[in-house]
Chains A and B, each alone.
Chain A
Amino acid sequence: MKKPHNIFKKDPNRGLERDLRNQKLIFWLFLFPALFSFFMVQIIPFAIGIYYSFTNWSATAQLSIDWVGMKNYIESFKDFRFLYSTMITTIYTVLNIISVNVVAFFLAMLDTSKLKGRNIYRAGFFLPNIIGGIILGYIWQFIFNQFIPKAAAAIGFSYFSTHLMLGDVKTAVLAMVIVSTWQYAGYIMMIYVAALQNVPADLLEAAQIDGANAWHRFKNITIPMVMPAFTITMFMTLVNSFKQFDVNVSLTGGGPSTTFMGIAIKGTTLLAMHINETSSIYLNTAQARAKAIVFFLVIVSFSLLQVTLTKRKEVEL
């Protein structure tokens, strides 16, 4: 009878205190490596970037860096190249979200319809996704510039044998959408596949017995059940399309030229590339920072808006 009593009485306060101290130490010890590198590459550069966007920092040699207030932001919005890039990036993003998700969802529907070789097919669809954007852009540059013209000539489709897709702004944007869909659809497909597999088979069967046809089952059961997946895929395609850079560089290089508001402009320069060029070609490093901050704010607000809108449509079973 005495022993358990003793155990409970054994200096409860001192043990607790030491435990807490230990816990704090372990907390910081475990957190440190990740937090350190995170601060080194994200938080500190982000803060520096915000600061420089309010200065006259430039890539050319200068005596001092001075505070200039909102000047860089105001000038950014007066820059037709920036406005044009924003417009073309928005067009590209919208087209890309539709294209990637439609293709991916279609592939996922096929893939979950109990095909024999579905594992091989998945691998095939997924393969482009593990190839880097730079390499991929060069492959497609070859296809658009060498392969398609000759293939079109061979089958007598004269338009594409004489017009290079990358030679015209409209088709060049389309070419970028094709390449990103090719790259991304297999990955997004996998998310849809996972979601579709989670749709309970007995629910679909019950609906079928109750007389719901395929379209109704699809519309009223499958779609609501995969809504959480839509939140993920829309978010991912939105952010990824908006940030597109690699394919832009290696496929179109920002070209071909066109005119906008009376100035010559490279027709497919997406925002990410434009921000780079503001600093690397126009040497206006501070303005590039301001544009980058605007770019960041646009992405944040887009994503927040998108997530809240899609979340509203989700259902819980």
Chain B
Amino acid sequence: MKKNRTNISRVIARNVAEILTIGLVAFFIAPLILVLLNASKTNSQIITNALSLPTNWNTLIKNVVTIWNNPNLRYPQALISSTIVTFFSLSGITIFSAMAAWVLLRTRTKLSSAIFMMFVAAMVIPFQVVMFPLVKWFGVFSKFTGIPMLRSYFGIIVAYIGFGSSMSIFMFHGFMKSIPHEIEEAAYVDGCGKIKTFFYIVLPILKPIYVTILILNGIWIWNDFLLPMLVLGKGTPVQTLPLAVNNFAGAFLVSWDLMMTAILMALVPVVIFFLAAQKHIIKGMVEGSVK
């Protein structure tokens, strides 16, 4: 009897928890649904009643077309720029950080641990501390070397690799510690050179951690606002999506229907990516945070 009763109360408790959680999830996604609903209305409809459901979904298509062709936002260009910046920055961060972390871990000298500590310590440097000197330094560097650092893809990609390397090296380093040294030694004894050992033996083992690193850095880079604003500048040919939306908001903040549509269109790539790679993202985050 007693056992039966505890079972029933447990089932009830579980169902209550289930319903509560569903409610909370709804609360968490509600703001995004609100964006979709209000992007499907005209501005006067929003002003008179922000709560109402859209009456005509064609308004959404009309708004999307307006935003797509908007000369302040330049959505298609911004989408391409964001993709290029994110892709090359991520490739750089992952490969270069893995390489650096590996030699820093496998070379046991005071110098290597000092360099590693420097990378890790830099994680606490707030961006505000370095941002203006960074722009000035990039300007000076360009003047002397002729390599364009400001308003260029190259400059912002180098910047992202530099800022992303701290955390990535820290994470790779932590993960590599768990790889038995014997695997590499075996490869080395079999005549595999150091470079080959790294690319053929170590890199493949790192897969779980570089999925995490790609995701963590990818989300940050795709959404970042301040660094592109400083390095690329507003209204220049290379504009990432957050910059573009901000340019647009400056001009159109009163027009809520178009603002909501712009937000919606900025959200779409992220949400699609999230839904497609959701399992990897969440698994990656779990593994990444524990390391």
Contacts and interface: CB of A to CB of B under 8 A. Distances in A.
A271 B129 CA distance: 11
Given A34-B97, A37-B165, A38-B119, 7 more contacts: A26-B194, A41-B158, A125-B28, A130-B271, A147-B50, A243-B128, A295-B129
A18 interface: no
Interface string B172-214: 0000000000000000000000110010000000000000000
A191 B28 contact: no
Interface string B153-180: 0000011011101100100000000000
A139 B31 contact: yes
Contacts of B281: 126, 130
Nearest to B266: A135
Contact of A45 (B99, B137, B198, B260): B137
Contacts of A128: 28, 31-32
Contacts of A8: none
A113 interface: yes
Interface in B1-53: 14, 17-18, 20-22, 24-25, 28-29, 31-32, 34-35, 38, 46-47, 49-51
A123 B129 contact: no
Interface stretch (B58-66, B71-79, B216-224): B216-224
B68 interface: no
B129 A293 contact: yes
B100 A182 contact: no
14 contacts: A23-B107, A30-B198, A31-B103, A34-B100, A45-B133, A110-B20, A127-B32, A128-B32, A130-B219, A146-B47, A147-B34, A245-B128, A246-B225, A250-B246
By secondary structure, the B interface counts as: helix
A283 to B, nearest CB: 12
A143 B51 CA distance: 10
A82 to B, nearest CB: 13
B31 A140 contact: yes
A135 B96 contact: no
B132 A285 contact: yes
B57 interface: no
A3 interface: no
Nearest to B134: A45
A23 B194 contact: yes
B158 A182 contact: no
Nearest to B273: A130
A310 interface: no
Interface in A149-206: 150-151, 154, 182, 186-187, 190-191, 193-195
Nearest to A26: B194
A40 interface: yes
A77 interface: no
A277 B144 CA distance: 30
Contacts of A52: 133
A212 to B, nearest CB: 16
B14 A114 contact: yes
B31 A42 contact: no
A285 B135 CA distance: 13
Contact of B225 (A124, A134, A143): A134
B14 A121 contact: no
Contacts of A129: 219
Interface residues of B, number: 90
Contacts of B165: 34, 37-38
A30 B102 contact: yes
Among A115, A132, A151, A279, max chain B CB count under 10 A is at A132
Contacts of B275: 123
Given A33-B96, A135-B267, A121 B245 contact: no
Contact of B21 (A121, A138, A232, A303): A121
Interface in A104-126: 107, 110-111, 113-117, 119-126
B263 A37 contact: no
B278 interface: yes
Interface string B76-103: 0000000000000000100011011011
Contacts of B138: 40
Interface string B209-247: 000000000010011111000000000000000100110
Given A31-B99, A33-B99, A272 B285 contact: no
Q: 4 tightest CB-CB pairs across the interface, nearest first?
A: A132-B223, A41-B162, A37-B162, A124-B25
Contacts of B219: 129-130
Contacts of B56: none
B34 A46 contact: no
Contact of B289 (A23, A232, A288, A296): A232
Given A33-B99, A135-B242, A272 B126 contact: yes
B290 A194 contact: yes
A207 B81 CA distance: 57
A110 B24 CA distance: 10
A142 B28 contact: no
A296 B133 contact: no
B251 interface: no
A201 to B, nearest CB: 16
Contact of A41 (B34, B49, B130, B270): B130
Given A107-B24, A111-B21, A135-B263, A190 B100 contact: no
Most buried by B among A30, A289, A299: A30
B133 A122 contact: no
